[in-house]
């Protein structure tokens, strides 16, 4: 059942059926604020994280278990709804098309804004030259595919719809504290917010560690075959941020292509960056295609 639900949910999300209602996060941010107001919980970030993420996930798990003995069709509908909610926010394909158009027109300022929106935290891009800007874009595009699609698929396979929901809520939880810390002045409240953000970041890094290893391996297989496989385990166990590890794996996966017009050579214009973006998009389409083929095979068997 979960294999069929994943394929259907990914198809819905990838081809962007109207998702504003299905992916509304206002309830969760209200829930975060409510848990934050539970007295002593505010001063214990680990307990707050456990309650904020654990209660909704446990609730969905109990609901799915209950529906399993009632109606298979209803179970499929609820499972599909949870999975659609768990995939990333925004229309990644449309955002990347806009980014390429901006780069091809030479409108670097517009490309900056689109690049900032690719990040779940909407953090600003700091780059003073095209070379730095291209590296930041590669990192953000790479992590966007990972966070919006691949990590969700992985955790749905491991923990079902509840596992996918846990990952999405973890991303949103960290994002809420990024916003909070950015708007908080120095002082006790700012320090508490920083501790909460640090705990949320560590938890998300832990949650991304397993899918990071699988995605890194897949990049080595669908890219320049064999490139980077020798360093796969070293990078996976390096405990570096997921975005940094993925960026190195992508650089290897691009292989011979990157020596011609890649990210490591001197870039003469924004059009060169647009060309590199196309290569990166094609690479991750191959990754998604491979994962979909494996899912379809598992569904048949």
Confidence class of residue 200 from pLDDT cuts 50, 70 and 90?
Answer: very high
| 175-185: pLDDT as tens digits | 988 877 766 65
The alpha carbon dihedral of 89, 92, 93, 95 has a sign of: positive
| 9-39: pLDDT as tens digits | 888 887 766 667 788 899 999 999 999 888 7
How much is the pLDDT for 257? 46
Centre a 10 Å sphere on the Cβ of residue 254 and count the other Cβ atoms it contains.
26
Cα separation, 23 vs 87, in Å, equals 9
Cα separation, 263 vs 257, in Å, equals 10
Provide mean pLDDT across the span 243-268: 67
Spatial neighbors of 122 by CB under 8 A, at least 6 apart, are: 116
Confidence class of residue 282 from pLDDT cuts 50, 70 and 90?
Answer: very high
To the question of pTM greater than 0.85 for the whole model, the response is: yes
């Amino acid at each position: 059942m979960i294999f069929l639900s994943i394929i259907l949910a990914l198809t819905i999300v990838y081809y962007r059926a109207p998702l504003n209602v299905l992916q509304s996060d206002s309830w969760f941010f209200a829930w975060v604020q409510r848990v934050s107001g539970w007295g002593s919980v505010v001063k214990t970030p680990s307990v707050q994280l456990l309650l904020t993420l654990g209660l909704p996930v446990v609730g969905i798990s109990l609901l799915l278990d209950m529906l399993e003995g009632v109606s298979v069709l209803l179970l499929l509908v609820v499972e599909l709804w949870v999975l659609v909610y768990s995939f990333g926010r925004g229309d990644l394909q449309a955002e990347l098309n806009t980014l390429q158009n901006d780069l091809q027109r030479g409108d670097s300022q517009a490309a900056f804004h689109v690049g900032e929106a690719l990040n779940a935290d909407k953090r600003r891009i700091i780059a003073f030259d095209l070379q730095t800007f291209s590296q930041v874009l590669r990192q953000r595009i790479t992590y966007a595919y990972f966070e919006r699609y691949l990590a969700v698929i992985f955790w749905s396979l491991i923990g079902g719809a509840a596992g996918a929901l846990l990952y999405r809520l973890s991303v949103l939880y960290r994002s809420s504290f990024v916003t909070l810390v950015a708007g908080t002045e120095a002082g006790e409240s700012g320090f508490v917010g920083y501790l909460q953000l640090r705990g949320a970041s560590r938890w998300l890094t832990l949650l991304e560690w397993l899918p990071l290893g699988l995605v890194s391996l897949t990049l080595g297989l669908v890219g320049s075959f064999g490139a980077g496989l020798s360093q796969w385990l070293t990078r996976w166990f390096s405990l570096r941020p997921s975005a940094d590890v993925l960026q190195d794996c992508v650089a290897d996966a691009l292989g011979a292509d990157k020596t011609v017009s890649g990210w490591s050579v001197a870039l003469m214009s924004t059009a060169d960056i647009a060309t590199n973006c196309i290569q990166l998009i094609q690479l991750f389409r191959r990754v998604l295609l491979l994962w979909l083929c494996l899912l379809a095979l598992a569904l048949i068997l």
